[in-house]
């Protein structure tokens, strides 16, 4: 497995691979790799001859410096995971390589970035789009693979790629979960045992909403109240947002459901002391009303 730290060196690798007729798949990550990332690598392997993983903890997408400082860092463990998964190349630049001191250019998807995490974290998706665009230009992949747990991020990246005519296929991979339903996330490592146990409430809330829709519930407001009530059963869970959105546009849904809707959650698991912002977890599910109801 090759480790590359410089953009120009990565571009040269891409040029050589493409000239030889090879197909490249890129899996962009912040590091802190887990089984969810391995599922992305496995999907990348199914779609390409060469699998490349980028490991770059992008500082510009963290609105809270403390959150950046607390983000799990495990570079050697990440390399071990990549080797075991059969990754061909790891791109591991430092911040100075990705962002010049006098850099001025940014990429932004205006409307899709406004709601949900965009409303809670202004500028977040501008930073995400900018770094993903940089990674795509550096690695020149034929396909790039992302997880569906960050549903809005995936939608924003797809729109950016479409609007700017990037010659790359964007693939989403279903969320990998723990036995109790909790979506795998690098942030889970920051949960204390009690918070970890209570964090499964996100999946239970989505289960409850899915069951209600299957039983005939079509009232959007009642479904949101159901999500909020279920999350309220966990004493240390604090809702950032619990919403229903159009799964294609992320726009508002009608008062009565007329088709599939995205149930999307962001929840802080407060620390045991009650002080500090806690660990922010995301989850989502597309709710599909049965056609015969």
Catalytic positions are: 37
Do 271 and 292 form a contact (C-beta atoms < 8 A)?
A: no
Pairing of strands 24-29, 143-147: parallel
User: Given phi > 0 = left and psi -120 to 50 = alpha, else beta, which region is 96?
Assistant: alpha
- Per-residue exposure over 4-42, b if at least 16 CB sit within 10 Å of its own CB, e if not: beebeebeebbeebeeeeeebbbbbbbbbbbebbbbbbe
Across 124-200, the runs of DSSP E, i.e. the strands, are: 143-147, 169-173
- Which residue's structure tokens are 């700017």? 164
Q: Which residues of 202-234 are buried (b: 16+ CB within 10 A; e: fewer)?
A: bbbbbebbbebbeeebbebeebbebbeebbeeb
Residues 249-287 as b or e (16 or more Cβ within 10 Å = b): ebeebeeebeeebbbbbbbbbbbeeeeeebbbbbbbbeb
Q: Which two tokens stand for residue 120?
A: 């809670």
Q: Which residue has the tokens 């887990």?
A: 34
The answer to whether the CB of 266 falls within 8 A of the CB of 241 is yes
């Amino acid at each position: 497995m090759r480790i590359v730290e410089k953009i120009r060196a990565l571009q040269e690798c891409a040029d050589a691979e493409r000239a030889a007729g090879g197909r490249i798949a890129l899996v962009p990550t912040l590091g802190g790799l887990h089984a969810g990332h391995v599922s992305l690598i496995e999907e990348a392997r199914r779609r390409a001859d060469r699998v490349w993983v980028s490991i770059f903890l992008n500082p510009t997408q963290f609105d809270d410096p403390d959150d950046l400082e607390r983000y799990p860092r495990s570079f050697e463990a990440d390399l071990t995971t990549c080797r075991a998964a059969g990754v061909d190349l790891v791109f591991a630049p430092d911040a100075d390589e990705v962002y010049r001191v006098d850099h001025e250019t940014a990429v932004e998807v205006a409307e899709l970035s406004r709601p949900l995490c965009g409303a809670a974290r202004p500028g977040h998706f501008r930073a995400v789009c900018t770094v993903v665009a940089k990674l795509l230009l550096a690695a020149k992949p034929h396909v790039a693979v992302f997880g569906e747990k960050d549903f809005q991020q995936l939608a924003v990246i797809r729109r950016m790629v479409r609007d700017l005519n990037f010659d790359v296929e964007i693939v989403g991979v279903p969320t990998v979960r723990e036995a109790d339903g909790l979506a795998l996330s690098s942030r889970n490592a920051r949960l204390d045992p009690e918070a970890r146990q209570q964090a499964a409430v996100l999946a239970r809330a989505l289960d409850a909403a899915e069951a209600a829709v299957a039983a005939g519930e079509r009232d959007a407001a009642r479904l949101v109240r159901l999500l909020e009530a279920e999350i309220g059963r966990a004493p240390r869970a604090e809702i950032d947002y619990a919403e229903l959105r159009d799964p294609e546009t992320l726009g508002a849904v009608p008062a009565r459901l007329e088709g599939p809707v995205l149930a999307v959650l962001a929840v802080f698991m407060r620390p045991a002391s009650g002080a500090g912002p806690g660990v922010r977890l995301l989850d989502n599910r597309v709710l599909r009303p049965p056609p015969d109801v």
